Structure 1
Amino acid sequence: MEFDLSPLWISLKASAIATCFTFFLGIAAARWMLSTRIRGKALIEGIFISPLVLPPTVVGFLLLLLFGRNGAIGQLLLKFDLTIIFTWQAAVITATVVSFPLMYKTALGAFEQIDANLINAARTLGASEWTVFLRIMLPLAWPGILAGTILAFARALGEFGATLMLAGNIPGETQTIPMAIYFAVEAGDMRQAAIWVLIILSLALSVLTAVNYWTDLQRRSPKPNPNYSNPNSATNLVRGDRRDGQDAHPTNYVGLPYKLQSNLVTAARYNTTKLPQEQSHSGLFANIFKPLSGFTLNVGFDIGQEVLGILGASGSGKSMTLRCIAGLETPTSGKIAVNGKVLFDSAEGINLPSKDRRIGFLFQNYALFPHLTVAENIAFGLQHLSASEQQLRVKEQLISVQMSGLESRYPHELSGGQQQRVALARAIVNSPDLLLLDEPFSALDTHLRSQLERELMQTLANYRGITLFVSHNLEEVYRVCENLLVLADGSAIAFDTKEHIFDRPRNFTVAQLTGCKNFCAAKQVAETIVEAIDWGCTLTVVEPIPKSLVFVGIRAHQVSFVSGCDRENTFACWIASTVETPHRVTLYLKLHSPPHDSQDYHLQAEVFKEKWRAIKDNPFPWYVHLEPIRLILMEA
């Protein structure tokens, strides 16, 4: 008797067609579920994956109700004299339905593994959502999608119960391999059943072996992983999901400062509670209100064509402020405008997408596209230009960031400093109106940070737009920026020139963020004298004493040592302990009497090693002088 191979061809045909349908439907559904925020999302996903958990006969019965003569789709098809049940097309439908969940979940997982900063970077470079999907998401998720496609094909190939319900078992028309196995066993033909089992086993094992081989190949390949690599290592994968301000404490600040005027510095600016009003000049106006899980972001400022530093501790709202300006997050209310162009206005219902804001964004992890070369990364935002113009712009940027000759390399083949240069070139190649720098040096070692900082300052000197430079490193921000905005728990607590903020911080938080280490509870006892309660002394001061004085402080490097106690603000002291660094020594000093232990101290003083070597053998007590003009008077 001749062996009928029709079940093999029917199975392969139905599975192949079903896999094609599943490929597109699964990817589309995964992309939609990833971006949608509609109610009932959990229910919809449950429907999508239900064929994985429901018995195949239940799935087949539901399809029969839908496509049968009395079903909604079945009746519609009858109007065109068409029928689906008990045809090979029905086998395609059942195979599509049962294999769809595998494709959907695999694609969704692959999309979710993509670093969100890569997608956001593409948006800030002017890419539409369709371009982001085709050029970033799909290539980076491709290994997972391919694996899902192979698994979906294997699942479609082995479908039995639902196919039997909807397509039946018509030899030569709807009889697939699983059907042939079942009915051969029913007829007692174990030899024929065994042959079909071997065939389907061979197909299934081949498919699964292909998946495992592909996965292993991806793991060993030097090509960049869909996840983004750490700027300091090509092998360590990191996620760039951290958002500043998600775990801070509720804020007690409600005030926001007026427009920064670098030529006019007043102490009253720190205490104003009035929101900035938009001015009709070029620059950046931002008034942002956005409740977060730990606090409320409530920031407002108005600046011109300058480099503004945003200083604050981790979780203070710095990065979230940049994300709102770039359009990656949407404020609850407020207004954002650049050079008179309104980017966001809650009152007017304006909210431009990131691609239309003309903003360059340098992310903390650089967010270089790992599947694109250096040249392709830089040219990503130049798609509106001709190929020759793109090449010219890329060449100019490569020269400016000292990366000539490396245009064909991939991000994982670059050092951390080189990655940062490429990311900066990509951000400014389009001459954006506003440049946002989110802690650009945080992932670099000290030597490389210093070198790239100088290069960045040179780049910013030639850049004609507005720059916001976010950092928690006070020395870094002081060197790069002329004016500072200090954030704490989502609110602006200082907004002025860097000199005024560092020399005369008006409250404890600003003083602490700007590096002051010596604080003492204080109260006024005369016109120019305050009592340092914790230090057990009175101090003469030069600065006018505020009515709401709470603390007096002095920076550690401004504490000086003198030979005798013959002038004001000079006190006997003893060393409780010391801590050395390569160039400095920190001395923990006890005033008035010797310390009981290493933790019994009042002040920290920092001196260079040369000074330390000159005084360390002097007998105690030493004498410390707190210069009146260096004392910082702080309000609540």
Structure 2
Amino acid sequence: MINLSPLWISLRIATIATVVTFFLGIAAAHFMQHYRGRWRSLLDSLFLAPMVLPPTVLGFLLLLLLGKNGPFRVLFSGGISVVFTWYAAVITATVVAFPLMYKTTLGAFEQIDDSLQQAARTLKATELNVFRRITLPLSLPGLLAGTTLAFARALGEFGATLMLAGNIPGRTQTLPMAIYFAVEGGDLREAALWSAIVLSLSLGGIVLTNGLTQHRSRLRWTQRSKGRKTEAMLLSDRSRGGFEEAGAKRSTRLQLEVDICKHLPEFTLSIKFVADGQPLGVLGASGVGKSLILRCIAGIETPDSGRIILNDRVLFDSELGIDVGSCDRNVSILFQNYALFPHLTVAQNIAFGLPRCQKSSPNQITRAVTQQLIAMRLEPFAQHYPRQLSGGQQQRVALARALASQPEVLLLDEPFSALDTHLRNQIERQLITRLQSYQGITLLVTHNLEEAYRMCHDLLILDSGTVIANGPKHRIFEQPQTVSVARLTGCKNFSPAVAYGPNQVEVQRWQCQLQTLEPLPPNFTQIGIRAHQISLSASSASSKNTFCCWLAATSETPHRMTLYLKLHRPPSDEQDYHLQAEVFKEKWCELKDQPQPWSVCLDPSRLLLLEDL
């Protein structure tokens, strides 16, 4: 009869080692995910060293460390010894299995989108809650795989265990040792039996893990297929009432003061502005620091210097050493990718953003979630997962979740960038309506000037990390002071110009003289006019700033035509033009068959007198 003690010893040692490795691997992976110090490479190498060292070398090093003459001999005073005991085998199994658990877990953690954890922090979740409710559930497949690999490695450890724990039958003799000594003794049948058991346990665990992972994937695909709904049908439903705004009217007038500086490789972000209850649009080209401003306000990024003050509460002050964490700022951010938690349903996502209060009963939380679902017309999708929703539905869930946390500041980072044109217009109208009842401060980041104009009362225009305009949108669009502001607000026609009289300028590029309505400012260097404010007619006229023009080229959009015009004489080619004029298709139909030259009028009241800055 075969002695089964190697089987039970191996299972006990591998199980204990796997449990210890599970917690150590998660702790090490979580630390290394966030550690960016100078010793990161060395620590990572030390954690992975047991995976590449020969088992005998590893066993010898452990023997030196844990022997009675080793550096840890103080632990073994009083006659206690680790060497040649079953817990020595646990130690070696833990050491050799740790790298697999650590590396697999670290890879699982790094696969999680950073915006999910950042969103959780802005929803007032502590670091412990972020780790418990977001990081661990999302990394579960990786943790399961790492645990399986760690168990298989611990079960199969031989060399290091033999060096430290020896081969004592009934005490430290594990399955790999039983196989080795069975072969050495010529008992191939027993060796084959033990080998089959090891293979069954190791490969069985791996197959089971892969099967569970594939089952989860198939289940997600099935849920996604069954959960498809038509966005247009939902948006066409009649509006429902009865919603009590989660963020009730606040008694104080909110004010956000931002004065920060952050050095980047391409430029230095240095901005200063004040926002109040009116929505503020942050406008600028891609890569000028718009999103970075929101991340600094939310506490996701840390400025190099400056201050951020919300309603007389200091959120950041470099001189005083104040840097309030994201979870305590009461600032919510709506990311470009919405950052919905994929393992939570729509209702659970919204509930995540509700204020944490010990007095809140489950019924109160349910009512609050229901109110948000009604307000955003999401009741049919309460038990759906984000992967089962369309882009517009996901956007509305993210907005409901952000508002449910009752933030003092709502940050919208390109909220419509992932939507098609038709859906974008519908969601934009719904967002505008929703923000009318929101009592906090709203900042909208966008590079779409029409979107900013429709949604915001004030504008903050950036260029290369600095503020070049700040104020009411009407003033900025109608009276830009510089060429940069005019260009970022859609002006396409510019030319250097010099004063020719009190209300007259010499326009060099257009080769003409223009009369202005207002006196010339002292520092003006260029003149501009917006393409849609140029008047065209087929008949000649003698009014102010009217000239003959010829058509050089056209560019068509669904509703408008852009006409490239050459003043004074016919163009030599399509690139030979002075002005771009935009007209509706109806006007184009009137003009296109008329003989040229046409007449172009540059209205004195529409001319922009600009500085180069």
TM-score range, shorter chain: over 0.9
Corresponding residue to 1:490 among 449, 459, 465: 465
The yes-or-no answer on 1:598 pairing with 2:574 is yes
Between 1:152-161 and 1:37-46, the stretch displaced more is: 37-46
The yes-or-no answer on 1:362 pairing with 2:334 is yes
The yes-or-no answer on 1:440 pairing with 2:440 is no
Corresponding residue to 1:340 among 301, 312, 330: 312
AA matched with 1:60: G
| Alpha carbons 2:254, 2:408 under 8 Å: kept | no
How has the CA–CA distance of structure 1 residues 449 and 80 changed in structure 2, closer, same or farther, with 3 Å as cutoff? Answer: farther
Q: Where does residue 172 of structure 1 map in the other structure?
A: 170
The normalised TM-score by structure 2 is 0.92
Residues of 1 paired with 2:491 and 2:218: CA distance? 50
Deviations 1:570-603 (A, max 9, x none): 1111111112122111111111221222222111
Q: Where does residue 379 of structure 1 map in the other structure?
A: 351
Q: Where does residue 236 of structure 1 map in the other structure?
A: none
Runs of 4+ in 1 over 4 A off after TM superposition: none
What SS is found at the alignment partner of 2:79?
coil
Between 1:592-601 and 1:89-98, the stretch displaced more is: 592-601
Q: CA deviation at 1:512?
A: 1.3
| Alpha carbons 2:258, 2:272 under 8 Å: kept | yes
Residues of 1 paired with 2:509 and 2:270: CA distance? 35
TM alignment of 1:599-618, pairs within 5 A: 599-618=575-594
RMSD over aligned CA atoms reads: 1.9
Deviations 1:414-458 (A, max 9, x none): 121111111111111132111111111111111111111111111
Q: CA deviation at 1:223?
A: 6.3
Residues of 2 paired with 1:543 and 1:442: CA distance? 40
Q: Where does residue 556 of structure 1 map in the other structure?
A: 531
Q: Where does residue 454 of structure 2 map in the other structure?
A: 479
How has the CA–CA distance of structure 1 residues 324 and 195 changed in structure 2, closer, same or farther, with 3 Å as cutoff? Answer: same
Deviations 1:190-249 (A, max 9, x none): 332222222222222212322332343344331699xxxxx999xxxxxxxxxxxxxxxx
Residues of 2 paired with 1:77 and 1:289: CA distance? 52
Q: Where does residue 125 of structure 1 map in the other structure?
A: 123
Corresponding residue to 1:309 among 256, 265, 281: 281
The yes-or-no answer on 1:573 pairing with 2:578 is no
Q: Where does residue 52 of structure 1 map in the other structure?
A: 51
| Alpha carbons 1:546, 1:635 under 8 Å: kept | no
Deviations 1:508-538 (A, max 9, x none): 2211111111122222222222222111112
Residues of 1 paired with 2:214 and 2:496: CA distance? 63
| Alpha carbons 2:294, 2:411 under 8 Å: kept | yes
Q: Where does residue 64 of structure 1 map in the other structure?
A: 63
What SS is found at the alignment partner of 1:499?
helix
Corresponding residue to 1:413 among 388, 391, 403: 388
TM alignment of 1:62-101, pairs within 5 A: 62-73=61-72, 75-101=73-99
| Alpha carbons 2:566, 2:578 under 8 Å: kept | yes
Deviations 1:167-204 (A, max 9, x none): 11111111111111222222233332222222222222
What SS is found at the alignment partner of 1:135?
helix
The normalised TM-score by structure 1 is 0.89
AA matched with 2:594: N
Between 1:285-294 and 1:132-141, the stretch displaced more is: 285-294
Residues of 1 paired with 2:273 and 2:534: CA distance? 35
Structure 1 unaligned residues grouped into runs of 5+: 226-230, 234-279
| Alpha carbons 1:224, 1:412 under 8 Å: kept | no
How has the CA–CA distance of structure 1 residues 80 and 554 changed in structure 2, closer, same or farther, with 3 Å as cutoff? Answer: farther
TM alignment of 1:258-337, pairs within 5 A: 282-337=254-309
Corresponding residue to 1:188 among 170, 182, 186: 186
Residues of 2 paired with 1:546 and 1:91: CA distance? 86
Q: Where does residue 630 of structure 1 map in the other structure?
A: 606
| Alpha carbons 2:253, 2:277 under 8 Å: kept | no
Residues of 1 paired with 2:215 and 2:380: CA distance? 29
| Alpha carbons 2:515, 2:545 under 8 Å: kept | yes
Residues of 1 paired with 2:602 and 2:554: CA distance? 20
What SS is found at the alignment partner of 1:368?
coil
Q: Where does residue 141 of structure 2 map in the other structure?
A: 143
Residues of 2 paired with 1:219 and 1:399: CA distance? 31
Residues of 2 paired with 1:196 and 1:319: CA distance? 60
AA matched with 1:525: Y
How has the CA–CA distance of structure 1 residues 308 and 80 changed in structure 2, closer, same or farther, with 3 Å as cutoff? Answer: farther
What SS is found at the alignment partner of 1:301?
strand
AA matched with 1:569: N
Q: Where does residue 28 of structure 2 map in the other structure?
A: 29
AA matched with 1:631: L
Deviations 1:385-413 (A, max 9, x none): 33222112111111111112321111111
Residues of 1 paired with 2:577 and 2:212: CA distance? 63
Q: Where does residue 585 of structure 1 map in the other structure?
A: 561
Residues of 1 paired with 2:551 and 2:218: CA distance? 57
Residues of 2 paired with 1:224 and 1:493: CA distance? 51
How has the CA–CA distance of structure 1 residues 523 and 14 changed in structure 2, closer, same or farther, with 3 Å as cutoff? Answer: same
| Alpha carbons 1:224, 1:370 under 8 Å: kept | no
Q: CA deviation at 1:305?
A: 1.9
AA matched with 2:214: D
| Alpha carbons 1:232, 1:444 under 8 Å: kept | no
Q: CA deviation at 1:465?
A: 1.0
Q: CA deviation at 1:32?
A: 0.9
Residues of 1 paired with 2:167 and 2:273: CA distance? 73
Deviations 1:534-568 (A, max 9, x none): 11112212244333333211111111113214122
AA matched with 2:570: P
Q: Where does residue 271 of structure 1 map in the other structure?
A: none
Residues of 1 paired with 2:25 and 2:525: CA distance? 63
Q: CA deviation at 1:354?
A: 0.6
AA matched with 1:560: S
Residues of 2 paired with 1:366 and 1:110: CA distance? 21
Deviations 1:249-304 (A, max 9, x none): xxxxxxxxxxxxxxxxxxxxxxxxxxxxxxx9741111111111211111111232
AA matched with 2:52: V
Q: Where does residue 270 of structure 1 map in the other structure?
A: none
What SS is found at the alignment partner of 1:552?
strand
Deviations 1:365-399 (A, max 9, x none): 11111111111111113232332221121111111
- Aligned-pair identity in percent equals 58
Q: CA deviation at 1:506?
A: 1.5
